[in-house]
Structure 1
Amino acid sequence: MRTWPRRMLGFWRRSLEFRTIAITVLLSTIAVTVIGSAISISIGSNIYAQRRQQIESESERATVLAQNVFDSATSSEDSNQVELDSLQNQAQSAILSSTSSPGGTSIAMLRSPGQTTSQTIQNIASPDFPNAVISKELRAAVDKDTDKLHFQAVSLSTSSGREPGIAVGSTLEVPTAGQYELYLVYDLSDAQKTLDFMQQTLAIGSMALVLLIAVITYIVVRLVVGPVRLAAETSQKIATGHLQERLPESGEDVVATLGRSFNGMADTLQRQIQQLADLSRMQQRFVSDVSHELRTPLTTIRLAGDMLFDNREDFDPLSARTAELLHTQVDRFELLLADLLEISRYDAGAVELELEPVVLVRLVEESVDEFGPLAQGAGSTIGLEARGGYFEAEVDPRRVRRILRNLLGNAIEHGEGRPITVSVDSDAESVAIAVDDRGVGMRAEHAERVFDRFWRADPSRKRSIGGTGLGLSISREDAQLHGGRLEVWSELGVGTRFVVTLPRHSGATATTSPIAVERPESFDEVDSEATR
C-alpha cells in the first residue's frame, strides 16, 4: 500500500505532462465549481423570487375576492347561519378559482382566537391541508397585523418525499361572525424540479467542460512538451558519445528556433570535443613516443653512471659527489620514465589486469617490511592492524604492491617522524587497506587535488624520499582498474588517512568500504594519552 503514494509522487516529479494536466484540471474544477455554484444560487434565488411574487399576487387577489364575497352580504343581525355557510362556500370557491399554482394550493379558514360574536361559521380546510406547517409564530403574526399578508417557508410531506412550500396568512372580516384567518399553502415542488433539472444540467455541463479542458490541455502540452522531450533525449545521446545526433528543424516558430539553436550548439560542441580528443591523442602519443625514445639514451647514461658510481672511491671528493648525484638522478629519471609510460598506457586504454587469488595481509606485511628501514631512518615506525576474516581477493599483486609503496612512501615523506599505522579489514564483498600518518595533514581544498598529476600541496617542501608526482594518480588508476577506489581524509596539523577499497571478486565493483574514510580512532586515543 505504501508503494502507490511513492509511485504517484515519483510519476508527479518525472512527468511534466501529468503535472500540467493535473494542475489545469484541478484549477478548472475549482473555477467551474465556484461559477456553477454562483449560477445555481442565482437561478434558484430568481426562481424563488418569481414564485413568491406570483404567490403574493394570487394570495392578495384571493383575499380580496373572499372579502368581497362576505362584504356583499347584508351586515345585519338577521343574517342566519345558513346564509353565513353559503357565503363561506362562495368565498372558498372564489379563492380556489383565483389560484393557479402548478403544484397545487391548499386553503384553510380558521376563526381568530378571542372572538365573542354570537354567530360563527365553522372552520374549513382542504382535505390535504397540512395543519402541522401552520406554526404558532405565523398565527400570532397574522393576528397581530391584520392589514398585510404574512409568508412562511415550509416543508411539505408528499408521496415522493419532502417538498418545499410557502404558507400565506391573512385575515377576513365576516359579518356578524367576526374575524377569521385565511391560510393558503402553496406547493413549490414544480419550482424545485425545475431547479433540480437546471442543477443537474449544469453539473453535467461542468463535468463535460472540465473533461474538454483536460483533453485540450493534453493536446497543447503534447505539442509543447514533445519537442522538449525530444531535445532532452537528443542531449542524453550526445552526452553518451553520439555527437552526430541532431534535432529536426521545421517551421519558423519558437520550437523551430530552439531546434536550430540546439543543433548549432551541438555542432560547436562536436567540433571542440573532436579538437580536444585529437589534442589529447597527440599529447598521449607524444608522451609515449618520448618515453620510448628516452629509454635508449637512458640505458647508455645508466651504464656510464653505474661505472662512475662504482669507481667513485678513486675520484677526488668533488668528482665522487658528482658521481653519486648522477646515480641518484638517473634512478629518479628511470622512475619518472616508468611512471610516464604507465600513465600513457592508462590514457590509451591498453592496461590489463593479471588477476590471481591473493591474501592481501601478506602483501601488506611484505610492503611494511620493505619500508621499515626507510621509516626508521625518518624517525617513524610502521604498525600493522589486521581485522576481518575475508582477506583473500582476486587482484593484480604487482599493482597492489605499487599502491602500497606509493601510500607508504607518502606517509613516511609527510609523517613528520610520527608513528604510521596500516590497517586491513574486509567483509564478504570487499577488502580495504588504510594507511594513517599523524603528519602535517592537508586542507580540504588540497585533499581534493591530491590525486592530480604532478600536483604538490607545498612546492617548496623538500623531498626526502624522491618521487615523480605521479604516484597517487597511478595508484588511483590501479584501484579503479580493479573496480575499487582510493579515497583520502586529511586535516591540517592532525594527519592523513588514505583508504584503498578493492572488490574481493573479479568483475565486481566495490560499493561500500569496511574502513571509513574519516578521522581514525587511533588519533583520538593518542590525543587522550598525550593529555593524561
Structure 2
Amino acid sequence: MAEPTGFARTWRSRWQDWRDWRSWRARLLRKWRSSLQFRTVTITVVLSGIAIVMVGVYVSVSVGNDLFQSRLGQVELDSNRATSAAQGILDSSDAADRVQVQSLLASARSAISAASSSRLVAVFRVPGQDPSTAAPQDFSTFGDSTEVISPELRTAVQGAPGTQFWQSVALATDDDGQVAGIVVGSQITVPVAGRYELYIGYNLGEAETTLQFVQRTLGVAGLLLIVLIGAVTWIVVRFVVTPIRVAAETSQRLASGDLGVRLPVKGDDVITTLARSFNGMADSLQSQIKELADLSEVQQRFVSDVSHELRTPLTTIRLAGDMLYDQRSGFPPATGRTAELLHAQVERFELLLADLLEISKYDAGSVELEAEPTNLVHLAADAVEGLRSLAESKGTRLNLVAPGGHLDAEVDPRRIRRIMHNLIGNAIEHGEGKPVIVSVDSNETAVALSVRDYGLGMSQVDVNHVFDRFWRADPSRKRTIGGTGLGLSISLEDATVHRGWLQVWSSPGKGSCFRLTLPRTARGEIASSPSPLPPEDAGSDGTLPRLTVGEVGRAGIKGAQHGEGAVHD
C-alpha cells in the first residue's frame, strides 16, 4: 500500500486534531481567557439563547394548552350533541324485542356518527343490571384502540348517569403510529335493554400538527434570532474592543521603550477622552524618563570623570606610598605602621576606582564582550591556585570538583575570571576555616560553576540584598583582601551580560553556595543549570562525609548529597 502524500498526511493530521475534542477544549479555553470579544459574544449568545428557549417553551406550552382547550370545548359540545341525538331516537322508540332493539341501536349509532365529527364509537352495557334477552351485544369501532378506554373512565361513567367525562389518550393510526386524542364517555338508556355506556373518540391530529408547525416555526425563528444577536453583538463589541486592543498594544509598545507611540484621537466620545488621557500620561512619562535619563547620564559621566581624574593623583600617591612602604623597616615603629596603613588603603582606593569605572560602564551600557572558546575548569584551577596562599592563611582547604565541566564555552575569560576570584575570595573570607568546594559541570546548553563554603551562612534577609551595591552582611567584620562592596554587583552584571545566571543559596549555620550558570554559546539560551541549587550537601556540617576530594588541578572529582535552604535568583 502506497504511503500517503504530504497533502493527505496534512489532512489526516487535521482530521485527527478535529476528532480530538481535548485539543478543541483547550483551544476554546485559551480563546476564552485571551479574547474579551469572544467572551462577550459567547455570554450574550448563551444568555440570549436561554431567554429565547424559555420564551419559546412558554409560547409553545401556551399555544398547546390553548389548542387543547379549544379542541376540548368543541369535542364536549360535539359529544353532547351526538349523545342527545342518540338518546332522542331511543326515547321515541317503542321497540319490545331484541331485533327491534338492535335495529334501534343501529339507528342511534348512525345518528351519533351524523351528529359528531368522529367515527370512533363504543357502546357497553352497564354491568350489574338484570340480564335481559332483549339487550343487544356491546359493539365498538375503536378497533385496536379499544384499550384506551381505561377502567377509571368506565368506573366514572358507570357511577354518574347523566354526566359527561373525558380523558386524554393516544389513538392508533392506520400506519401503526399513534396520535393524541380524547375519549368522551356518558350513559344512554336503551328501551327494554337498560343503561349503556357510550364512548366517542376524537382524533387531535390536526391540533397536534398545528402545534408542531408552531414549534418548528419558533425553533427556526429562535435559531435565526440567536445568530442575528450573535452577529450584532460581534459587530458592536468589535467597535468597542478595537480601540481597547489598540490601547493595549500601544501601552505594550510604550512599556517596551517606544516612548514616542501615541493613541489616535478621533471624535469626542469616551474612547477619545481615554485616548487623550493616555497620550497625556505618555507625554508626562516620556518627559520624566528623559529627565531621569539625563540625570543618570550626568551621574555616570560624573563618576567616570571623577574616577579618571583621581587616577593621576592616586598614581603619585601610590608611588610615594610604595617608596615609604619599601623603607618602613628604617622608620620608627609608629611611622612604619603608618606606612603600612597608607599602602593598604591606597591599594583599596585603587580597587574602588577600578570597580567604580566598571560599574559606570555597565550603567552607560558601553560594555562589550570579548568572547572566545574558554574552558571554565582551567579558569577555576587558575583562580584556586591564585588564592591558595590566602586560603592557607585562613586554614581553608580548597577543592576543585569537575565531573563534567571540560567542554568549552564562548565567554569573556577576563570577566569570568573576575567572577571566580570574587566568589572564591568571599568563600574563603566567610568560610570560618572550613573547606571550600569549587565545582564545574556542564550539560547540552550550559556550563556552571558553583562555590560552596561551610561558614556561618546568611539569613533570607541577607540573601535578598547580597547583590546590592555597597552592601555587606557584617560591616564590622575584618576583611583580609579588602573589598569595596561592589564585587558581587559587578559579578552579577558580568553574568547578565553573558546571558547567564548568578544565584545564591545560604542557610545560617550551614554555609553558602554561589552558582554561576553560562550558556555554551554566546547567543545561546540556558534550558537548565547542570549544577543543583540548593547544593546536594546542603545538610552537611562541613566535614564532607560523602565527598571524595582529589588534588586541585584540571581533572574532575565527585559530588555530594541533597539538603535544604533558600534560593535567590
**Do they superpose with TM above 0.5?**
yes
Corresponding position: 1:304 with 2:324: no
Are 1:63 and 1:95, in contact at CA under 8 Å, matched by a contact in 2?
yes
Corresponding position: 1:10 with 2:10: no
Are 1:44 and 1:195, in contact at CA under 8 Å, matched by a contact in 2?
yes
Task: Please say which of residues 121-130 and 265-274 is displaced more in the overlay.
Answer: 121-130
Corresponding position: 1:439 with 2:491: no
Are 2:405 and 2:440, in contact at CA under 8 Å, matched by a contact in 1?
no
Structure 1 residues 170, 527: CA separation in 2 closer, same or farther (over 3 Å shift)? Answer: farther
Question: Of residues 149, 153, 161 in structure 2, which corresponds to 1:146?
Answer: 161
- Aligned-pair distance for 1:197? 0.9
Question: Of residues 325, 333, 348 in structure 1, which corresponds to 2:349?
Answer: 333
Is the partner of 2:540 in helix, strand or coil? helix
Partner of 1:277: 293
Q: Distance in 1 between matches of 2:304 and 2:533?
A: 35
Partner of 1:182: 198
> How do residues 117-266 of structure 1 correspond to structure 2 at under 5 angstroms?
117-121=132-136, 123-126=138-141, 130-159=145-174, 161-266=177-282
Corresponding position: 1:453 with 2:469: yes
Is the partner of 2:93 in helix, strand or coil? coil
> How do residues 364-383 of structure 1 correspond to structure 2 at under 5 angstroms?
364-383=380-399
Task: Please say which of residues 138-147 and 10-19 is displaced more in the overlay.
Answer: 138-147
Q: Distance in 1 between matches of 2:378 and 2:544?
A: 32
Partner of 2:413: 397
- Aligned-pair distance for 1:92? 2.7
Q: Distance in 2 between matches of 1:129 and 1:3?
A: 54
Partner of 1:55: 75
Is the partner of 1:521 in helix, strand or coil? coil
Q: Distance in 1 between matches of 2:136 and 2:374?
A: 124
Structure 1 residues 525, 412: CA separation in 2 closer, same or farther (over 3 Å shift)? Answer: closer
> How do residues 460-479 of structure 1 correspond to structure 2 at under 5 angstroms?
460-479=476-495
One-letter amino acid matched to 1:418? K
Are 1:497 and 1:520, in contact at CA under 8 Å, matched by a contact in 2?
no
Are 1:108 and 1:129, in contact at CA under 8 Å, matched by a contact in 2?
no
Are 2:510 and 2:540, in contact at CA under 8 Å, matched by a contact in 1?
no
Are 1:111 and 1:123, in contact at CA under 8 Å, matched by a contact in 2?
yes
Is the partner of 2:516 in helix, strand or coil? strand
> How do residues 413-428 of structure 1 correspond to structure 2 at under 5 angstroms?
413-428=429-444
Q: Distance in 1 between matches of 2:208 and 2:63?
A: 11
Structure 1 residues 522, 263: CA separation in 2 closer, same or farther (over 3 Å shift)? Answer: closer
CA RMSD of aligned residues (A): 2.3
- Aligned-pair distance for 1:403? 0.7
- Aligned-pair distance for 1:16? 1.2
- Aligned-pair distance for 1:520? 4.2
Q: Distance in 1 between matches of 2:544 and 2:101?
A: 120
- Aligned-pair distance for 1:374? 0.6
- Aligned-pair distance for 1:80? 5.2
Structure 1 residues 529, 356: CA separation in 2 closer, same or farther (over 3 Å shift)? Answer: closer
Question: Of residues 125, 130, 136 in structure 2, which corresponds to 1:111?
Answer: 125
- Aligned-pair distance for 1:279? 1.0
Output one character per residue of 1:147-191: Cα deviation in whole Å (capped at 9) or x when no partner: 312222221222453111111121111122322222111011011
Are 1:152 and 1:166, in contact at CA under 8 Å, matched by a contact in 2?
yes
Is the partner of 1:300 in helix, strand or coil? helix
Corresponding position: 1:93 with 2:110: yes
Structure 1 residues 525, 315: CA separation in 2 closer, same or farther (over 3 Å shift)? Answer: closer
Structure 1 residues 186, 115: CA separation in 2 closer, same or farther (over 3 Å shift)? Answer: farther
- Aligned-pair distance for 1:486? 0.8
Is the partner of 2:473 in helix, strand or coil? coil
Output one character per residue of 1:73-127: Cα deviation in whole Å (capped at 9) or x when no partner: 24xxx74556545533442333233224xxx442233333445234234545448
Structure 1 residues 390, 365: CA separation in 2 closer, same or farther (over 3 Å shift)? Answer: closer
Partner of 2:423: 407
Gaps of 5+ in 2: 1-19, 547-569
Q: Distance in 1 between matches of 2:144 and 2:335?
A: 139
Partner of 1:29: 49
Output one character per residue of 1:348-393: Cα deviation in whole Å (capped at 9) or x when no partner: 2222222222222121111111111111212322122111254322
Structure 1 residues 130, 324: CA separation in 2 closer, same or farther (over 3 Å shift)? Answer: closer
Structure 1 residues 522, 216: CA separation in 2 closer, same or farther (over 3 Å shift)? Answer: closer
One-letter amino acid matched to 2:520? R
Are 2:64 and 2:211, in contact at CA under 8 Å, matched by a contact in 1?
yes
Are 1:105 and 1:187, in contact at CA under 8 Å, matched by a contact in 2?
no
Q: Distance in 2 between matches of 1:133 and 1:523?
A: 87
- Aligned-pair distance for 1:462? 3.0
Q: Distance in 1 between matches of 2:168 and 2:29?
A: 51
Structure 1 residues 234, 127: CA separation in 2 closer, same or farther (over 3 Å shift)? Answer: closer
Partner of 2:369: 353
Are 1:336 and 1:468, in contact at CA under 8 Å, matched by a contact in 2?
yes
Q: Distance in 2 between matches of 1:489 and 1:287?
A: 33
Partner of 1:492: 508
Partner of 1:44: 64
Q: Distance in 2 between matches of 1:333 and 1:265?
A: 45
Q: Distance in 2 between matches of 1:397 and 1:528?
A: 31
Structure 1 residues 459, 129: CA separation in 2 closer, same or farther (over 3 Å shift)? Answer: closer
Q: How many residues in Structure 1 have an aligned counterpart in Structure 2?
A: 524
TM-score (norm 2): 0.86
Q: Distance in 2 between matches of 1:522 and 1:270?
A: 48
Are 2:122 and 2:142, in contact at CA under 8 Å, matched by a contact in 1?
no
Structure 1 residues 31, 481: CA separation in 2 closer, same or farther (over 3 Å shift)? Answer: same
One-letter amino acid matched to 2:517? T
TM-score (norm 1): 0.92
Structure 1 residues 289, 127: CA separation in 2 closer, same or farther (over 3 Å shift)? Answer: closer
Structure 1 residues 143, 357: CA separation in 2 closer, same or farther (over 3 Å shift)? Answer: same
Are 1:390 and 1:427, in contact at CA under 8 Å, matched by a contact in 2?
no
Is the partner of 2:178 in helix, strand or coil? strand
- Aligned-pair distance for 1:281? 1.0
One-letter amino acid matched to 1:173? T
Is the partner of 2:471 in helix, strand or coil? coil
